[in-house]
Amino acid sequence: MALADDDKVAAAKAYVDALVSHDATHVRLHPDCTRTELGIKTGRSGGHIARSLTFGPQFRLIHQVSDFSATVDGDRVDTSYLVHVQPKFLRLSSRVTESFDLDEVGRITKIIATFSAPVRG
């Protein structure tokens, strides 16, 4: 039975939510999942990505995500959202686009991320 589009979006949204909560418990990552950011490999396995989401200092700057949207194309979910970073008083945010490839049971197998420079707003 094929995964419903809502379930695919929920898998990607769990990852995005973990950027703020710093809790990867609900993120379904395949053990061989990789993450590439701006062309650089930043995640070498599902476990590595989960640890980075939970403990990584690069994600500790994130205090909010807004303007989330997602589209589904087969087994890929393309997302776009704003990441709001510390310090809050500067009101800095960056537009992030991420593509999530999923396996047949809804685990994320690959993440490709790009983002813009932070701007005030």
pLDDT at residue 113, as a whole number = 97
pLDDT of the chain, 121 residues: tens digit per residue: 689 999 999 999 999 999 999 999 999 999 999 999 999 999 999 999 999 999 998 888 999 999 999 999 999 999 999 999 988 889 999 999 999 999 999 999 999 999 998 888 7
* CATH code for the part of the protein at 5-120: 3.10.450.50
β-strand partners of 83: 65, 94
Contact 93, 86 (CB under 8 A): no
Provide the token pair at 20: 């703020």
pTM score, two decimals? 0.93
Q: DSSP secondary-structure letter at 88?
A: G
